[in-house]
Structure 1
Amino acid sequence: MTAWLLDPEAIHLNHGSFGATPASVLEAQQAIRSRIEANPTRFFLEGEYQASLDEVRRVVARFVGADEAGLVFVTNATAGVNAVLRSLEPSLSPDDEILVTDHEYNACANAAVVSASRAGAVVTTAPVPFPLEDCGEVVDAVLGAVTDRTRVLLIDAVTSATGLVMPIAELAAQLEPDVRVLVDAAHAPGMIDFDVTQLGVSYVTANCHKWMCSAKGAAFLWVRPDRRDGMHHSVISHGYNGGWPSGGGHLHAQFDWTGTHDPSSWLTVPDALAAVEAMHPEGWSGVKTTIRELCLEGRRKLIEALEIEAPAPDDMIGAIASVPLPAADNSGSAIFDPLMAALRDHHGIEVPVFTWPAPPERVLRISAHLYNRPEDYDLLAKALVGELRAG
């Protein structure tokens, strides 16, 4: 684990929540910060910042299949979702609908509720089963919830609590352009093969600090060409009326500068992509294959230990996967189950246990990255069974 700063005394099976950053990337971030602090005026006002950001944009655009003109940076995928929804509020009419699934990440579902309320619109929810047999159940559930008032679909590319790779392209083919599809792809780049322009959607936002392993606080938003007019950051700044920066087109002007901030996390993304690529002899293709196979192996160990059926097919799994646990209604208010603390405190295993979709139901979610080993999941399976029997 020498490439990472992770505590060797713990078993880290929660890459999906916050990612992990290679030590070399953090060193690169500190070098960037030192360069900024040596002369902040020169860095920000004399072209160094913009040139550096544009180079990172080129690298990220190539990695995710985007055009540079449509790609901007935000601090996390939730910020990207908020920017899109805030920009869409003027186009919503009373009783229009923003559609989400019941697997939607809570923070982004909250953003949809607030934006809908400002416009007099409503948020509707498509119930997607879990466990499920195939992705057709997702397509049927979402399309079955669409009405003639549906204006926006907000959907995860990979669901957070349940770890499902969602059939985004299939849904977009049925819905766009009448229904704008906004994809929260927080987990997708670096985990699964992912090309934003091939999805056929209006908007994609994703984190760079998760599976791409950049410093924390780096994410991007991509907007399809026909959706860029009227698109603004949720923080309005100089670019709104053509102020600085003004050379990169409308979208870049809205997002590249929203006030003084630390851009070093954005600027580490090329370092992170190079560092992780070098960890596997087959580069990023090998990384994605390896972590997916490891996740599937870990899921199989848990399924066998719990004596349950697989809750989703293998082709809907990337490098995170969830398994349902026996129901346990603890308080009804906590997002994380006390079992999570027991696994950490008694066994040194960091793994999330969510109350989902509502008490008393709950799931345990594993992640896999290159610092994990098959025996990590053996230890988890043994510890989990022991805690469930004791509990």
Structure 2
Amino acid sequence: MTAWLLDPEVLHLNHGSFGATPAAVLDAQNSIRERIEANPTRFFLEGEYQEALDEARRAVAQFVGADEGGTVFVTNATAGVNSVLRSLEPALLPGDEILVTDHEYNACANAAVVSASRASAVVTTAQVPFPLEHQRDVVDAVLAAVTDRTRILLIDAVTSATGLVLPVVELAAELEPDVQVLVDAAHAPGMIDFDVAQSGASYVTANCHKWMCSAKGAAFLWVRPDRRDGLYPAVISHGYNGGWPSEGGHLHAQFDWTGTHDPSAWLTVPHALAAVEAMHPGGWPGVKAAIREMCLGGRDVLIEALGIAPPAPADMIGAIASVPLPPADNSGSAIFDPLMAALRERHGIEVPVFTWPAPPDRVLRISAHLYNRPSDYDRLAEALAAELR
């Protein structure tokens, strides 16, 4: 793990939550910060910032199949979701519906609830089964929940707790343009093949600090050309009245400057893409194939150890995968099961155990990245056997 700063005394199987940043990328971030601090006025006001930002944007857009004009940086995917929902609130009428699934990331589901309440709209929930047998189970569940009042579908490209790659392209094809599809693709870029412009969605937001391995605090939002004019950041700033001129059009003017902050995480994205690409002889295609193969192998180890059937087909798995655990009396934990702490404290393993969908049910989610090895999952299976007996 010399390319990473991860503690070698801990088995890290939770890349999915916060990512991990290669040491070389952190070195690049430090250099960027030194450049900023050498003369902040010059950097921000004399064009250095905008030039560096445009370069980073270009790298992101090329990596995810987006156009630069529709791509802006945000601090995380949750900020991207909030920006879209806040922008759409004025168009919602009382009784209109924002549809989510019961696998939706809690923070973004909360954003939907608040935006709906401001417009006297409602949030409805599609019940997607887990375990499940086919991607069509997701499509059927979501479409069954759509009504003539559904205006927005907020859906994950890869679910957080359950680790499922969802058929967002199929759903967008069924629903757009009557229902605006907002894809929370927090995990997708760098984990699976995911082309933003080909998704068919109105909006896609995703993190760069997870599978793309940038410094933390970097994410992007892409907006389809026909949806751009009315889209604003959650924080309104100088660009609203032209106070931050940008040659990149409406979105860039609104999002490129929302106040003084440390943009170094955004500017590390090209460094991260290059650093991870160099870690595998097959480049990024090789990285994605390798970590998916390792994840599927790790899932097989856990399935055998737990004596359960695969909870989802292999074509719905990227580099995170969840397995159901035996129910437990975990009613005192709102999100994380106490088993998570036991695995950390007694076995030195960082892996999330979620209370999902509600106590006493729970799932354990593994991740795989290039710093992991197949033997990591054997060690986890042994620890689980000791804790569950």
Distance 1:255 1:244 in 2: 10
- 1:385 CA drift (Å): 1.2
- 1:244 CA drift (Å): 1.1
Cα deviations across residues 139-178 of structure 1 (Å, max 9, x unaligned)? 0000000000000000000000000000001001100000
Distance 1:273 1:113 in 2: 35
Taking every aligned residue pair, what percent have the same amino acid on both sides? 84
The TM-score with structure 2 as length reference comes to: 0.99
Please name the residue that 2:44 is paired with.
Answer: 44
8 Å Cα contact 1:245/1:256 also seen in 2: no
Alignment gaps of 5+ in structure 1:
none
Distance 1:29 1:11 in 2: 26
The TM-score with structure 1 as length reference comes to: 0.99
Please name the residue that 1:218 is paired with.
Answer: 218
Cα deviations across residues 251-272 of structure 1 (Å, max 9, x unaligned)? 1011000000000000000000
Distance 1:246 1:44 in 2: 13
8 Å Cα contact 1:126/1:145 also seen in 2: yes
**Does structure 1 residue 323 correspond to structure 2 residue 323?**
yes
1:257-276 mapped onto 2 (5 Å cutoff): 257-276=257-276
Total equivalences in the alignment: 389
Cα deviations across residues 238-294 of structure 1 (Å, max 9, x unaligned)? 001111133221110110000000000000000000000000001000000000000
Please name the residue that 1:20 is paired with.
Answer: 20
Please name the residue that 2:380 is paired with.
Answer: 380
8 Å Cα contact 2:280/2:287 also seen in 1: yes
8 Å Cα contact 2:330/2:355 also seen in 1: no
Distance 2:184 2:66 in 1: 16
Counterpart of 1:116 in structure 2: which amino acid?
A
Counterpart of 1:235 in structure 2: which amino acid?
V
Please name the residue that 1:355 is paired with.
Answer: 355
Which runs of 4 or more aligned residues in structure 1 lie more than 4 Å from their structure 2 counterparts after TM superposition?
none
Please name the residue that 1:282 is paired with.
Answer: 282
Cα deviations across residues 117-149 of structure 1 (Å, max 9, x unaligned)? 000000000000000000000000000000000
Counterpart of 2:284 in structure 1: which amino acid?
W
Counterpart of 2:295 in structure 1: which amino acid?
C
Distance 1:101 1:69 in 2: 30
Counterpart of 2:193 in structure 1: which amino acid?
D
Cα deviations across residues 57-104 of structure 1 (Å, max 9, x unaligned)? 111100000000000000000000000000000000000000000000
Distance 1:160 1:207 in 2: 13
8 Å Cα contact 1:96/1:151 also seen in 2: yes
Cα deviations across residues 188-222 of structure 1 (Å, max 9, x unaligned)? 00000010011100000000000000000000000
8 Å Cα contact 2:97/2:122 also seen in 1: yes
Distance 2:210 2:352 in 1: 16
Distance 2:315 2:248 in 1: 39
Please name the residue that 1:336 is paired with.
Answer: 336
Distance 2:134 2:92 in 1: 33
Please name the residue that 1:78 is paired with.
Answer: 78
Please name the residue that 1:307 is paired with.
Answer: 307
Cα deviations across residues 4-27 of structure 1 (Å, max 9, x unaligned)? 000000000000000000000000
Distance 2:95 2:351 in 1: 41
**Does structure 1 residue 233 correspond to structure 2 residue 233?**
yes
Match of 1:215, SS state, is: coil
Cα deviations across residues 300-354 of structure 1 (Å, max 9, x unaligned)? 0000000000000000000000000000122344311110011011110000000
Match of 1:89, SS state, is: helix
- 1:359 CA drift (Å): 0.5
8 Å Cα contact 1:83/1:232 also seen in 2: yes
Please name the residue that 1:143 is paired with.
Answer: 143
Match of 2:377, SS state, is: helix
- 1:376 CA drift (Å): 0.3
Distance 1:330 1:150 in 2: 35
Match of 1:299, SS state, is: helix
Distance 1:135 1:14 in 2: 25
Match of 1:181, SS state, is: strand
Distance 2:135 2:323 in 1: 17
Counterpart of 1:386 in structure 2: which amino acid?
A
Please name the residue that 2:114 is paired with.
Answer: 114
Please name the residue that 1:87 is paired with.
Answer: 87
8 Å Cα contact 1:332/1:360 also seen in 2: no
Counterpart of 2:288 in structure 1: which amino acid?
K
Distance 2:374 2:248 in 1: 47
Match of 1:364, SS state, is: strand
Cα deviations across residues 21-49 of structure 1 (Å, max 9, x unaligned)? 00000000000000000000000000000
Match of 1:123, SS state, is: strand
Please name the residue that 1:181 is paired with.
Answer: 181
8 Å Cα contact 1:245/1:257 also seen in 2: no
